Each structure stands twice: as C-alpha cells, then as structure tokens.
Amino acid sequence: MPMKKPIKIFLIIILSIIALISIYLYLTRLAWQGLSAEDKLTTLESIYRKCQTRGGEDCELEIADRLNDVIDTQKIELIQIIQDINKSEENRIFALSMFFGLSRGDNQPITIQESDFYYSIAIENENPFDLRQLAYSYLLDTQIDDEKIIELQEQMIISPNVHPDFKRMALANVSIINTEGLEKALFTNLTNPDSDVRLETASALGRIGGQEQITELVKIALDKTNDLTSRSLALLAIEDIAEKNTINNLDELARALEPLLEHNEYTIRVAVADALESLTGKVQKIEATQEEIDDYISNTFLSDY
C-alpha cells in the first residue's frame, strides 16, 4: 500500500512531461508554419550549419523534407502577389514566372490544378495584358487532357489573328485526340507568313495525320498556284505520315507525285524524292547542279523556310 502513492506521483510526472513535450512540438510546428519562406530558409541554414558543426553525416537529409515545405510556402506567397491587384505589373509577372519555375521541379508536367490557376489569370480581363499573355503561353505550351485547355489551343490554331508564338506553341502540342475540326486550319497554316508556324504546322500534320490528310496534302503539293514553301512542307508532312502509317492506294499517290521529280526547283525535287521513298520504299535519284545545292542549303539552313 505505501508504494502506491510514489508510483502514482511518478506516473503523473511522466504524463506531465509527455504533455509538455507534445505542447512544445505543436507550438514549434505552429510557429514553423507561420514563418515566411525567407525565414524558413534562414532557419534551415542554421540547422544545417549546426549539423555540420557537430559532425553530422546526413545533414542534407535532415533538412530535405522541410526544404519542400519552404518551396510550398514560397509558391503560396507568389500566388498572393500574382493575385494582388495593388502590386505592380512587373512584380506580378515576375511572381508568375517564378511560380511556374518552382512548379517545374524535376521536369514535372503541369497539373490540372495548376492549369486551372493559369486559366483563371488568363481569362480575367482586369489583369494586365502581359500577365494574361504569360499565363496563356504556359497553357498553350503543354499537353494536358483538360477540355478548356484543348479548346484554347484549338482557338489559337484556327484564329488568323493570333500571335505567331502562341500559334506555334498550340501547334506543337496538338494531338490526335483533339484534331476534329482543325484540318482546314492546319492546311491553311502551311501558308502562314511566319516560318516557325509553317514548320510547326507541317510537323503537326506529320505527327497526327493519316490517310485522309495525306490525300489533301498531295493536292496541296501538286497545286501550282501554291507557293514553293507550302508545297515543300506538304511533301515533308507526307513523308512523316507515310513513315508512321499504313497508306492505301500507294501506286496512285506515287504516280501523282512522280512528275514533281522533274520540277525546275531543286527544293521540290528533294522533298518529293523523300516523300516517294517513304511511300514506296524506293530510293529516288535526282539531278542537281552545284548552284542548286548551294541555294538549297542556304535557303534551308540560313534563312526562313
């Protein structure tokens, strides 16, 4: 009986200590969460230096988890700046670019939540024009299965009054799942005044095209009213499609294109020879003067295509 009271007192002391430790840890965590990203980083630097001073071998691991928390805190602070209409346009644009950079750690793709955020910035008419344009660029330069983003990319491809950079990014990310209704616009973009848009269009057609597109591309290549560039790019797209797909009526397509092997422009002869090789598997021999070869190299590699 006399031993029960000391044991009870001991247990009370132990429980009190545990409770105090729990309260301390809770308040410490609460205090940590209330720190700014800069203060958190300063704290981690101090923890890291102390770890090295005492000869710790895993100092990096000791702060690794908290470093991720610092990044998350910084992203929250950046969002607050981006959405603050009282901040200068320059600060909001810089914050948006910083947020995008932090979100791309380890080459992470854009998430649905992140795309929703960019979309909210882009469509808000009260936001500065350049801030909205930057948000648009992030949305266009990605492949994501999000209906509103796909619709936005389609608008950029179809509309003739779009900045070439936006059209190029949309074309680079167009996929076979969202090409319905885009064929006419894609063929039109083969004659776009911007060289990068023309090349990206040919690349997109080569990437997502099939039997139906190759038939239309042959028509473009054969149409003498089209400029040489659009005809050459149509042939380039045919070559890419033929390498990735099984094409019907190969003999008919080959016969239609073969006359271009005698075209007076070397650029067309080279392009149709490559296309025919992809279609038939037969290497095509073409003649060229040194002057034609030099002009071809100059036009292909040293100027806009």
Residue 148: band (very low, low, confident or very high) from pLDDT cuts 50, 70, 90 = confident
Is the pLDDT assigned to residue 99 strictly greater than 50?
yes
pLDDT average, residue stretch 98-111: 83
> Quick check: 153 and 118 in contact, CB under 8 A?
no
Task: Sketch the domain layout of the chain as residue ranges.
Answer: 66-142, 209-305
User: Residue 128: exposed, middle, or buried by beta-carbon count in 10 A (0-12, 13-18, 19+)?
Assistant: middle
Q: What is the pLDDT of residues 26-61, one digit of tens each?
A: 444 544 455 676 776 677 677 777 777 777 667 777
Is the pLDDT assigned to residue 251 strictly greater than 50?
yes
Residue 24, pLDDT score: 45
Q: What is the pLDDT of residues 163-187, one digit of tens each?
A: 888 888 888 887 755 566 788 888 8
Q: What is the mean pLDDT of the chain?
A: 80
Question: Which spans in the chain are helix H?
Answer: 4-33, 37-53, 59-83, 89-103, 112-123, 129-140, 147-158, 164-173, 183-189, 195-208, 211-222, 228-244, 250-257, 266-280, 290-301
